[in-house]
C-alpha cells in the first residue's frame, strides 16, 4: 500500500484536499500592521470573566490597528458541552457591547468569510490536513488504549520521568502500514497522532509578546491530533484554524504557554507561517495570603452573569477590565475623562506579567462614578431595563411613578461634583424606597430618631415647622433661612460654631432639628439632600407623614 492509499484508507470520503482550503481562505486584504485577533471560548459552562477580559483586550487591538476581531467557538470537547452554551457566549458579548467582525451571531448563523466559526462544523477541514500529514509520514494511527495509557502514566510517575507519549513509549510510531492495517482489520480502535520531529534535548527560544523571551525544550511528544470521535484536539484545531483564519496574534490564557513548542512545531510541520503569540496572565484572587487564578468553581464573580444581576453598568465593568488589561489605562483615563474606551490604545508592553488581582471595591467605585455622571433620565431608563429582569416590584414603582423617580434620581446630580449615592442598579431601591408612598408604612419603632427622641419634642418640632415655617414655594436658601429662625424660636442653635462654644445654652442644634424632619419623612437618618426630599414629596405627603407622629 502506498502512503497515499494509506491516507485515503484512514481518512476516507473527504471531498476536498488541503489545496482547496488554502485557496478558499486566502490571505486577508488588510493594511500593514492590521491585527487579526480572536477569542476562542468553549461552550462548556457559564461565560467566564476571563473571556470578557480577553474580549475587551483584543477588540481594542483590532480596532486600533484597523484589523479584524472574530469569535471562534471551540466545541471539540462534546462531553463537557452544556445546553445553550453557544447562545450564552453570544449573549454575553452582546450584553457587554463587544462587537466582533466575524463569528456566530446565533446558534445557526454566522458572519464572515473565514468560517465555519464553530469547530464541530469544521471536521472536513481538519481531516484534509490530517490526511496530508499522514501522506507525509507526519501522522499515524495509534492503537494504545486508555488503559494502556494509564499504565504508561503510572510507570513514568514511578520512574519520575517525563510524562507523555514519546520516544520508546510511543510504541505505535514505528508500526508499518501493513501492521497497522492488520490491527484496523481486526477491529482495533485508534486515534491519529502527530509524529513529532522534535528532540527534547534541544532548547529553543520563543518570543512571547507579554512574557518576553522564553526558553523551552523542543517538543518530542506525539500528541493526539484527531480523536476517536473524529474531532481534533485543541492543539491541532488551534493550528489549523488560526492558520486558515489568518490570525496574526494569538492572544490567549497563559496556561497555554507551555504548549507553545507543540504548536510552533505543528505550524512548521504543516508548512504554515507561525503567528505571533501573547499570553497575558489571568485575573487572580488572593486567598489566605496566597494568589490563585480566579476560578469558575470557587468564585461567584467569575460568572459574568453575577455582575448583571448586581447591576454594575457594562461601561464601568469594561473600564475595570481595561485597568486590568493595561497598567497605564487609569492614568490615561484621568487625563482623558471624556474619551471613549476605544480611544485608549492597548499595548502588549503594558500587560501585567504576573496577573492582576481582582478588586471588587474598584469595580464598585468605577460604577459609582459612572452612575453619578449619567443624566437622571438615562439612569431611569437603565433601571427600568434592569428591574424588568431582576426586581419586578421596583419595576412597577418605576413605571407608575416615572416623573417622581426621575426627580429622586436627580437629587444633587446636576452639579459640578454630583453625589455618588448609587453603586449599582440593585442598590438604588434600598436607598430610595421610602419615597414611594405605597412602600412607606414603617412601624414607629423603626424610625431612626437620633438625638431628639422624646415624642413630645418631636411632635412640637414637626407642628411648629409645618404651621409656621414650611412653604412649598421656598427656594433652598429661603428654606434654610427659615430653619434657622425656627431653631432660635425653639431653643436650638442655628449656628454650629455658637453651639460648639456653648453647648449648654441650647437644647441642641440645627442638625438635630433637620434629623427630626428627615426621619419623620423617610424613617431614615441618612438620605440625600433634605430640601430635595421635601420638594419631591410636596405639601400633602409631608403633612400625611408628619401627622403619623404628631
Q: Which residues in this chain contact ligand GLU in the complex, by CB under 6 A?
A: 40-42, 74, 238, 252-253, 256
Q: For ligand GLU, give the closer residue by CB, 253 or 418.
A: 253
To the nearest whole angstrom, how small is the minimum distance from the Cβ of residue 440 to ligand GLU? 50
HSE-CB at 173 with a 13 A cutoff on CA atoms is 17
Instruction: Note whether 543 and 513 are within 8 A (CB).
Output: no
Q: For ligand GLU, give the closer residue by CB, 245 or 435.
A: 245
The CA-based dihedral angle spanning residues 431, 433, 435, 439, taken in that order and rounded to the nearest 10 degrees: -160
To the nearest whole angstrom, how small is the minimum distance from the Cβ of residue 112 to ligand GLU? 17
Q: For ligand GLU, give the closer residue by CB, 259 or 328.
A: 259
To the nearest whole angstrom, how small is the minimum distance from the Cβ of residue 52 to ligand GLU? 13
Q: If phi over 0 gives left and psi between -120 and 50 gives alpha, with beta otherwise, what is residue 488?
A: alpha
Q: For ligand GLU, give the closer residue by CB, 23 or 79.
A: 79
To the nearest whole angstrom, how small is the minimum distance from the Cβ of residue 252 to ligand GLU? 3
Q: For ligand GLU, give the closer residue by CB, 103 or 528.
A: 103
Q: For ligand GLU, give the closer residue by CB, 40 or 310.
A: 40
To the nearest whole angstrom, how small is the minimum distance from the Cβ of residue 291 to ligand GLU? 20
Can you tell me the distance from the alpha carbon of 61 to that of 534, in angstroms, rounded to the nearest whole number?
51
Closest-by-Cβ residue to ligand GLU is: 252
To the nearest whole angstrom, how small is the minimum distance from the Cβ of residue 77 to ligand GLU? 9
The dihedral sign for the CA sequence 20, 24, 25, 31? positive
The dihedral sign for the CA sequence 132, 137, 138, 141? positive
Q: For ligand GLU, give the closer residue by CB, 253 or 481.
A: 253
Q: For ligand GLU, give the closer residue by CB, 42 or 233.
A: 42
Can you tell me the distance from the alpha carbon of 242 to that of 447, in angstroms, rounded to the nearest whole number?
64
The burial of 91, by beta-carbon neighbours within 10 Å (0-12 exposed, 13-18 middle, 19 or more buried), is given as middle
To the nearest whole angstrom, how small is the minimum distance from the Cβ of residue 88 to ligand GLU? 14
Closest Cα to residue 314, out of 94, 122, 502?
A: 94
To the nearest whole angstrom, how small is the minimum distance from the Cβ of residue 536 to ligand GLU? 50
Asked if the peptide bond before residue 116 counts as cis, ω within 30 degrees of 0, the response is yes
DSSP-assigned letter for residue 104: E
End-to-end CA distance of the chain: 104
Q: For ligand GLU, give the closer residue by CB, 50 or 313.
A: 50
To the nearest whole angstrom, how small is the minimum distance from the Cβ of residue 404 to ligand GLU? 48
Instruction: Note whether 472 and 536 are within 8 A (CB).
Output: no
Can you tell me the distance from the alpha carbon of 220 to that of 200, in angstroms, rounded to the nearest whole number?
6
To the nearest whole angstrom, how small is the minimum distance from the Cβ of residue 242 to ligand GLU? 8
Query: Where would I find the H helices in 144-282?
Result: 146-158, 177-185, 234-244, 260-269
Q: For ligand GLU, give the closer residue by CB, 247 or 423.
A: 247
Closest Cα to residue 312, out of 378, 366, 388, 373?
A: 366
To the nearest whole angstrom, how small is the minimum distance from the Cβ of residue 244 to ligand GLU? 14
The burial of 471, by beta-carbon neighbours within 10 Å (0-12 exposed, 13-18 middle, 19 or more buried), is given as exposed
| Residue in the structure block whose three cell numbers are 453625589 | 419
Can you tell me the distance from the alpha carbon of 31 to that of 33, in angstroms, rounded to the nearest whole number?
6
Helix (H, G, I), strand (E, B) or coil at 412: coil
Q: For ligand GLU, give the closer residue by CB, 310 or 321.
A: 321
To the nearest whole angstrom, how small is the minimum distance from the Cβ of residue 93 to ligand GLU? 15
The dihedral sign for the CA sequence 498, 503, 506, 508? positive
Q: For ligand GLU, give the closer residue by CB, 238 or 545.
A: 238
Beta bridge partners of 110: 104
Instruction: Note whether 294 and 358 are within 8 A (CB).
Output: yes
Amino acid at each position: 500500500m502506498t502512503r497515499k492509499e494509506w491516507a485515503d484508507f484512514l481518512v476516507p470520503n473527504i471531498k476536498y484536499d488541503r489545496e482547496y482550503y488554502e485557496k478558499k481562505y486566502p490571505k486577508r486584504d488588510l493594511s500593514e500592521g492590521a491585527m487579526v485577533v480572536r477569542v476562542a471560548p468553549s461552550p462548556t459552562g457559564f461565560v467566564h470573566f476571563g473571556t470578557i477580559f480577553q474580549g475587551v483586550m483584543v477588540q481594542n487591538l483590532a480596532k486600533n490597528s484597523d484589523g479584524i476581531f472574530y469569535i471562534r467557538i471551540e466545541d471539540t470537547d462534546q462531553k463537557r458541552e452544556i445546553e445553550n452554551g453557544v447562545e450564552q457566549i453570544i449573549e454575553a458579548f452582546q450584553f457587554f457591547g463587544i462587537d466582533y467582525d466575524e463569528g456566530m451571531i446565533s446558534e445557526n448563523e454566522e458572519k464572515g468569510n473565514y468560517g465555519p466559526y464553530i469547530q464541530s462544523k469544521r471536521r472536513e477541514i481538519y481531516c484534509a490536513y490530517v490526511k496530508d500529514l499522514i501522506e507525509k509520514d507526519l501522522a499515524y494511527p495509534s492503537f494504545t488504549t486508555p488503559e494502556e495509557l494509564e499504565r504508561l502514566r503510572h510507570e513514568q510517575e514511578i520512574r519520575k520521568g517525563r510524562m507523555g507519549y514519546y520516544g520508546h513509549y510511543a510504541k505505535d510510531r514505528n508500526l508499518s502500514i501493513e501492521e497497522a492495517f492488520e490491527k484496523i482489520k481486526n477491529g482495533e480502535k485508534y486515534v491519529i497522532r502527530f509524529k513529532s520531529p522534535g528532540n527534547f534535548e534541544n532548547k529553543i527560544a520563543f518570543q512571547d509578546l507579554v512574557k518576553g523571551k522564553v526558553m523551552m525544550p523542543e517538543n518530542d511528544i506525539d500528541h493526539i491530533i484527531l480523536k476517536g470521535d473524529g474531532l481534533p484536539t485543541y492543539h491541532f484545531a488551534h493550528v489549523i484554524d488560526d492558520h486558515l483564519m489568518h490570525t496574526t496574534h494569538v492572544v490567549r490564557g497563559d496556561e497555554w504557554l507551555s504548549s507553545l513548542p507543540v504548536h510552533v512545531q505543528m505550524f512548521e510541520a504543516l508548512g504554515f507561517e507561525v503567528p505571533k503569540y501573547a499570553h497575558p496572565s489571568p485575573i487572580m484572587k488572593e486567598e489566605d495570603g496566597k494568589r490563585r487564578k480566579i476560578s469558575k468553581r470557587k468564585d461567584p464573580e467569575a460568572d459574568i452573569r453575577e455582575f448583571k444581576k448586581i447591576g454594575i453598568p457594562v461601561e464601568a465593568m469594561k473600564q475595570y477590565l481595561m485597568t486590568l488589561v493595561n497598567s497605564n489605562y487609569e492614568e490615561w483615563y484621568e487625563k482623558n475623562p471624556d474619551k471613549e474606551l476605544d480611544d485608549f490604545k492597548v499595548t502588549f508592553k503594558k500587560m501585567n506579567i504576573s496577573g492582576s488581582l481582582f478588586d471588587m471595591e474598584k469595580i464598585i467605585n468605577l460604577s459609582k462614578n459612572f452612575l453619578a455622571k449619567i443624566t437622571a433620565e438615562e439612569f431611569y431608563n437603565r433601571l427600568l431595563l434592569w428591574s424588568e429582569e431582576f426586581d419586578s416590584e421596583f419595576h412597577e414603582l418605576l413605571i407608575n411613578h416615572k416623573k417622581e423617580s426621575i426627580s429622586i434620581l436627580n437629587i444633587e446630580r446636576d452639579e459640578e461634583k454630583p453625589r455618588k449615592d448609587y453603586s449599582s442598579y440593585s442598590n438604588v431601591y434600598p436607598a430610595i424606597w421610602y419615597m414611594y408612598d405605597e412602600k412607606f408604612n414603617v412601624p414607629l419603632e423603626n424610625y431612626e430618631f437620633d438625638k431628639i427622641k422624646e415624642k413630645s419634642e418631636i411632635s412640637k418640632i414637626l407642628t411648629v415647622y409645618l404651621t409656621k415655617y414650611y412653604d412649598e414655594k421656598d427656594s433652598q436658601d429661603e428654606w434654610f433661612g427659615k430653619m434657622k429662625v425656627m431653631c432660635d424660636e425653639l431653643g436650638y442653635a442655628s449656628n454650629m460654631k455658637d453651639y460648639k462654644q456653648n453647648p449648654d445654652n441650647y437644647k441642641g442644634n440645627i442638625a438635630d432639628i433637620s434629623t427630626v424632619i428627615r426621619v419623620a419623612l423617610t424613617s431614615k437618618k441618612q438620605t440625600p439632600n433634605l430640601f430635595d426630599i421635601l420638594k419631591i414629596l410636596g405639601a400633602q405627603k409631608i403633612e400625611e407623614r408628619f401627622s403619623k407622629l404628631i
